[in-house]
Amino acid sequence: MEYIYSALVLHAAGKPITEDAVIGVLKSAGVEADAAKVKALTGSLDGVNIDEAIASAMVAAPAAAPAAAAPSGEAKKEEKKEEPQVTEEEAAAGLSALFG
Under 8 Å between Cβ of 42 and 24: no
pLDDT given for residue 58 in this prediction = 85
pLDDT given for residue 5 in this prediction = 95
DSSP readout, 67-98? Answer: GGPPP-HHHHHHHHHHPPPPPHHHHHHHHHHH
Structure-derived torsion over alpha carbons of residues 51, 55, 57, 60, reported in degrees to the nearest 10:
-170
Topology at the third CATH level for domain 2-62+88-99: Arc Repressor Mutant, subunit A (1.10.10)
Residue 39: which of 5, 8, 3 has the closest Cα? 3
Kindly give the confidence (pLDDT) of every residue in the chain, 100 residues in length, as a single tens digit, with 9 standing for 90 and above.
999 999 999 999 999 999 999 999 999 999 999 999 999 999 999 999 999 998 988 887 766 666 555 565 555 555 555 556 666 666 666 656 666 5
Rg (CA), the chain: 17
Q: Against a cut of 0.75, is the pTM above it?
A: no
* Residue type at 75 in one-letter notation: A
Domain definitions of the chain by residue range = 2-62+88-99
The count of C-alpha atoms lying within 13 angstroms of the C-alpha of 34, restricted to the half-sphere facing its C-beta, is 8
pLDDT given for residue 6 in this prediction = 96
